[in-house]
């Protein structure tokens, strides 16, 4: 190769790189056209660039932030879908490929876009989302939103829909190419806001607003595209019970550069996430660049960065030649045009704290209009917005159009099913309540809710009316109890708590000493505190409930069972296992005495009792309890019911502890497969099974696979498992121990110490898990041959574990096994023999 060849190769490569970077700036839908336009006489360059873009989309889709991208060949070319014939591919979006299509009957020329979702057998989540998108778009008719024309499933089973073909450009490119001036840009942006507002009024959050999804046609009309991840929030809750909302975290497809911090963290998002994205778009539309450059790919670090950053002032961020694009005559004029209240508006839209952002698109529109009219905007520090902020914050739940908050429903390890089941029951009842409340409380005009009435809307309206009206105390308490229970099922803890507290106050007035109604409210209120992690408070309430039920039996025995179950769960979470078991045994006694021993509702109670019994080392009893739970659940719901597999997971644990290691491992692999199938990749239960399997493998000496599974669990940290969830600390411990055995002792120790630090932060002092962590560190110290340190740590941990968990607990067995290993490695034969004796006597 000659020097000249080298130079030209490098130049070519530089051009490839530049085009690649530019292509990433525009919407995936427009990339294909971009590549064609930029490389029209260079087939090699075109091929290379396309290959890189496909590789990029693959890597993005796999990085855990975006959805898997459907990378289909053009196999669907020429296929007929209803009245349309599918043509060439014009783009690839987050959810699938987009093809151009024309009407087959040729009655008139109509160009449309067909969006295919590549469906795989285990991709039920994506198919569900696709359908939601289809429903949503069909119901949403707005001049600034790309219209849905048709939709269905191809003969090979691929869902698709047909939408209006938008011949346009991203709003930013459109404006810059035409040197559109600031005020004109703001008017276009108003159109964007109006379209988003229309969606919000249908309780739909777009969640992926960005210039690449905001097109402007040649005629200057704004069109919002690609509602790939928007869905009907209310339908998701009402129709699918728990299934769909569970996907709300961990499965987001969004663009981090435009995403609000809460969205990046996978928290529940509402309409205010769109407000944030609109803020980024507005900034970019003016400045020609985005307000922040993300410098990390970790969600936590990203969110942290956004929390600490303040959007720079527009006038200070203009590139030297930006004034030309803005249609100004000098840079100075452009700067002057952009100084002032626009910064304040963008600042409020970009608040990292949701409660301090504009509460609705209306509020943002209002300020834009004030700005355009030359009136002072509310976003200014002395403006009305600040005065009303407190009020808005208080009423954020009423003003935000729709909130999916399901995290509270899926928190526990295995016990979470308990809550899920309860929520499911609440949700079924809530449907009846909805119609009841609509007529009872919205009686003046039931139609005013429209046909897409949501439970949230009814509840909010009902609580407002309840506050205004003076109902008889008993009716007021009754209705509030129902409303509170329904809010709880929706995960709206704060509102639920308010309703229960008021119910309690009313009930206390009519019956100062309390009765079974008070007891039920106390039990319901305890669920709020439990979901918030305030276990002590929950326990206090449940004790009161128990005392009341003892004197005033509830007509529905399952209510008493529920209170005892709740107490058992709370005590377990507090690490007080023997007392937890006592509470659950009381629950069984009540159910038996009142003819409810085989009620489907009891399955979860059996499973929970099995978990606790097994933790206490009574595995024969645990196994029979789990089996009972399995049978009841399977009988009532069939094989694809999540609770069935919770029971099997527990059984795997008991089998394991009874010494049937191979059966346990096989059962765990079956549970892992079933949960992946039923619940999906990002469901917490799936992660929990992974770490259960990691645990089994760890004890089987299969270090490498155990380390691998633990890493996979830790990757879900902040995605499907909350940072404070015990599974995180446990997985760190597993990883640390596995690494110790894989000859990475020092790195292993760091993981173990991080695990201990995390636990110390979460758990009350003296919790047995802290001792368990220390015992694991002791094991690592043995591997590092730091024997005296190891001895001190291991003996101390063993003593504390024995005290809190009983002499036969598996953790105590583990701790003693480690002590034997220590003395063996240290060469202290007598001590080793002594502990071997203690171990064998267990």
Partner 1 sequence: MADTSDRSPITALLGDLQDGIPGAADRLARAVMFDVRRLAERAMQREAPGHTLQPTELADEALLRLLGMTQISWQSRAQFFAVAAQTIRRVLVDHARHRRRLKRDHGVRVTLDDAIAMAAGGDVDVLSLEDALVRLDALAPRQARVVELRFFGGLDIEETARVLDLSPATVKRDWTFARAFLLNALSEAPT
Q: Report angle CA 281, 282, 285 to the nearest 5 degrees.
A: 85
As measured in angstroms, the least distance from the Cβ of 639 to partner 1 is 30
* CA separation for the pair 360, 658 (Å, rounded): 58
* CA separation for the pair 199, 195 (Å, rounded): 6
Structural contact between residues 596 and 564, judged by C-beta atoms closer than 8 angstroms: no
| DSSP codes joined into one string, 321-334 | THHHHTT-SSHHHH
Structural contact between residues 706 and 698, judged by C-beta atoms closer than 8 angstroms: yes
CB-neighbour burial class of residue 467 (10 A; exposed 0-12, middle 13-18, buried 19+) = exposed
- Residue 85: beta bridge partners? 80, 102
Q: Please tell me what DSSP assigns to residue 296.
A: -
117 backbone dihedrals φ, ψ, rounded to 5°: -110, 120
Pick between residue 295 and residue 840 the one whose CB is nearest to partner 1: 295
Q: Report angle CA 639, 643, 647 to the nearest 5 degrees.
A: 95
Note every long-range contact of 320-325, with CB atoms under 8 Å and residues 24 or more positions apart, other chains counting: 322/287, 322/288, 324/179, 325/175, 325/176, 325/179, 325/288
Q: Please tell me what DSSP assigns to residue 620.
A: H
Active site residue 42: no
Pick between residue 53 and residue 303 the one whose CB is nearest to partner 1: 53
As measured in angstroms, the least distance from the Cβ of 296 to partner 1 is 6
* Sign for the pseudo-dihedral over CA of 157, 162, 166, 170: negative
274 Cβ neighbours under 8 A, 6+ residues apart: 196, 200, 205, 206, 207, 209, 361
- From residue 458, alpha-carbon distances to 146, 201, 232, 497, 802 in Å are 30, 15, 16, 18, 53
Residues that bind partner 1 in the complex, under the rule CB under 8 A: 9-10, 13-14, 17, 20-21, 24, 51-56, 58-60, 62-64, 293-297, 704, 708, 715, 739, 742-744, 746-747, 750
Pick between residue 363 and residue 738 the one whose CB is nearest to partner 1: 738
CB-neighbour burial class of residue 353 (10 A; exposed 0-12, middle 13-18, buried 19+) = exposed
Structural contact between residues 411 and 419, judged by C-beta atoms closer than 8 angstroms: yes
Structural contact between residues 170 and 111, judged by C-beta atoms closer than 8 angstroms: no
Count of CA atoms in the C-beta half-sphere (13 A) of 721:
27
Pick between residue 54 and residue 443 the one whose CB is nearest to partner 1: 54
Scanning 202-298, the segments in alpha helix (DSSP H) are 233-240, 243-246, 261-264, 271-287
* CA separation for the pair 635, 644 (Å, rounded): 9
364 Cβ neighbours under 8 A, 6+ residues apart: 193, 275, 278, 345, 349, 358
Nearest to 409 by CA among 230, 576, 249, 584: 249
Helix axes 271-287, 182-201, angle to 10 degrees: 170
As measured in angstroms, the least distance from the Cβ of 53 to partner 1 is 7
As given in the structure block, the two tokens for residue 324 are: 């030309």
| DSSP codes joined into one string, 455-476 | HHHHHHHHHHHHHHS---HHHH
The CA R_g of the chain, rounded to the nearest whole Å, is 30
* CA separation for the pair 28, 113 (Å, rounded): 14
Nearest to 248 by CA among 422, 402, 90: 402
Pick between residue 73 and residue 840 the one whose CB is nearest to partner 1: 73
Q: Which of 32, 76, 123, 208 is catalytic?
A: 208
* CA separation for the pair 52, 54 (Å, rounded): 5
Q: Which residue has the tokens 């996430």?
A: 273
The alpha carbon torsion through 77, 211, 225, 220 (nearest 10 deg) reads -100
As measured in angstroms, the least distance from the Cβ of 48 to partner 1 is 8
Q: Please tell me what DSSP assigns to residue 40.
A: T
Active-site residue list = 208
């Amino acid at each position: 190769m000659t020097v000249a060849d080298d130079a030209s190769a490098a130049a070519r490569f530089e051009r490839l790189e530049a085009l690649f970077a530019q292509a990433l700036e525009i919407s995936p839908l427009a990339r294909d056209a971009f590549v064609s336009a930029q490389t029209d006489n260079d087939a090699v360059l075109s091929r290379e660039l396309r290959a890189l873009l496909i590789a990029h989309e693959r890597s993005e889709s796999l990085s855990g932030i975006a959805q898997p991208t459907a990378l289909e060949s053009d196999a669907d070319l020429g296929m007929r879908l209803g009245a349309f014939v599918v043509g060439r591919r014009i783009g690839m979006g987050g959810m699938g490929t987009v093809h151009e299509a024309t009407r087959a009957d040729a009655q008139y020329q109509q160009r449309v876009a067909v969006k295919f979702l590549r469906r795989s057998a285990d991709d039920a989540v994506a198919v569900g989302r696709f359908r939601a998108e289809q429903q949503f778009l069909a119901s949403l008719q707005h001049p600034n939103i790309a219209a849905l024309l048709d939709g269905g499933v191809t003969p090979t089973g691929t869902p698709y829909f047909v939408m209006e073909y938008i011949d346009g450009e991203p709003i930013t490119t459109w404006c810059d190419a035409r040197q559109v001036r600031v005020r004109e840009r703001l008017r276009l942006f108003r159109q964007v806001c109006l379209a988003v507002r229309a969606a919000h009024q249908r309780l739909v959050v777009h969640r992926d607003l960005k210039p690449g999804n905001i097109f402007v046609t040649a005629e200057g009309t704004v069109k919002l595209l690609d509602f790939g991840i928007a869905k009907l929030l209310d339908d998701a809750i009402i129709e699918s019970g728990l299934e769909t909302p569970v996907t709300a975290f961990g499965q987001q497809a969004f663009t981090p550069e435009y995403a609000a911090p809460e969205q990046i963290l996978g928290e529940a998002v509402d309409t205010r996430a769109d407000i944030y994205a609109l803020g980024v778009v507005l900034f970019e539309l003016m400045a020609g660049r985005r307000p922040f450059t993300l410098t990390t790919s970790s969600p936590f670090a990203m969110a942290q960065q956004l929390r600490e950053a303040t959007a720079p002032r527009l006038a200070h961020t203009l590139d030297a030649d930006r004034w030309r694009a803005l249609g100004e005559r000098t840079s100075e004029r452009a700067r002057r045009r952009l100084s002032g209240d626009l910064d304040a508006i963008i600042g409020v839209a970009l608040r990292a704290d949701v409660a301090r952002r504009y509460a609705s698109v209306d509020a943002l529109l209002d300020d834009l209009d004030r700005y355009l009219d030359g009136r002072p905007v509310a976003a200014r520090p002395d403006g009305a917005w600040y005065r009303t902020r407190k009020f808005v914050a208080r009423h954020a739940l009423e003003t935000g159009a729709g909130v999916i908050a399901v995290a509270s429903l899926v928190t526990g390890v295995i016990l979470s099913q308990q809550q899920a089941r309860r929520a499911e029951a609440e949700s079924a009842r809530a449907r009846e309540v909805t119609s009841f409340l609509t007529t009872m409380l919205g009686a003046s005009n039931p139609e005013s809710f429209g046909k897409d009435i949501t439970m949230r809307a009814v509840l909010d309206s009902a609580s407002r009316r309840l506050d205004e009206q003076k109902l008889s105390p008993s009716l007021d308490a009754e209705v509030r109890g129902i409303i509170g229970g329904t809010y709880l099922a929706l995960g709206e803890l704060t509102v639920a708590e308010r309703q229960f507290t008021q119910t309690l106050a009313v009930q206390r007035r009519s019956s100062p000493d309390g009765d079974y109604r008070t007891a039920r409210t106390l039990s319901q209120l305890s669920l709020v505190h439990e979901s918030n992690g305030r276990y002590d408070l929950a326990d206090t309430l449940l004790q009161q409930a128990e005392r009341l039920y003892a004197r005033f039996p509830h007509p529905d025995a399952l209510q008493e069972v529920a209170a005892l179950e709740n107490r058992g769960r709370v005590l377990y979470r507090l690490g007080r296992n023997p007392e937890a078991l006592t509470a659950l045994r009381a629950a069984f006694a009540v159910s038996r005495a009142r003819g409810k021993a085989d009620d489907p509702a009891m399955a979860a109670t059996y499973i929970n009792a099995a978990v606790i019994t097994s933790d206490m080392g009574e595995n024969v009893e645990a196994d029979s309890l789990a089996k009972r739970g399995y049978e009841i659940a399977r009988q009532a719901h069939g094989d694809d019911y999540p609770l069935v597999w919770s029971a099997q997971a527990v059984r795997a644990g008991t089998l394991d502890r009874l010494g049937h290691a191979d059966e346990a491992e096989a059962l765990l692999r079956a549970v892992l497969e079933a949960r992946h199938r039923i619940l999906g990749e990002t469901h917490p239960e799936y992660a929990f099974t992974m770490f259960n399997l990691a645990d089994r493998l760890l004890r089987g000496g299969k270090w490498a696979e155990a380390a691998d599974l633990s890493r996979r669990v830790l990757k879900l940290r902040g995605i499907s498992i909350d940072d404070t969830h015990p599974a995180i600390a446990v997985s760190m411990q597993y990883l640390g121990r596995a690494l110790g055995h894989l000859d990475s002792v020092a790195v292993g120790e760091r993981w173990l110490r991080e695990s201990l630090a995390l636990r110390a932060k979460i758990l009350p002092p003296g919790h047995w898990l802290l001792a368990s962590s220390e015992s694991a560190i002791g094991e690592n110290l043995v591997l590092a041959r730091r024997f005296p340190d190891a001895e001190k740590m291991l003996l101390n941990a063993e003593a504390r574990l024995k005290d809190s968990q009983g002499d036969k607990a598996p953790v105590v067995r583990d701790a003693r096994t480690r002590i034997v290993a220590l003395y063996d490695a240290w060469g202290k034969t007598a001590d080793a023999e002594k502990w071997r004796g203690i171990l064998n006597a267990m």
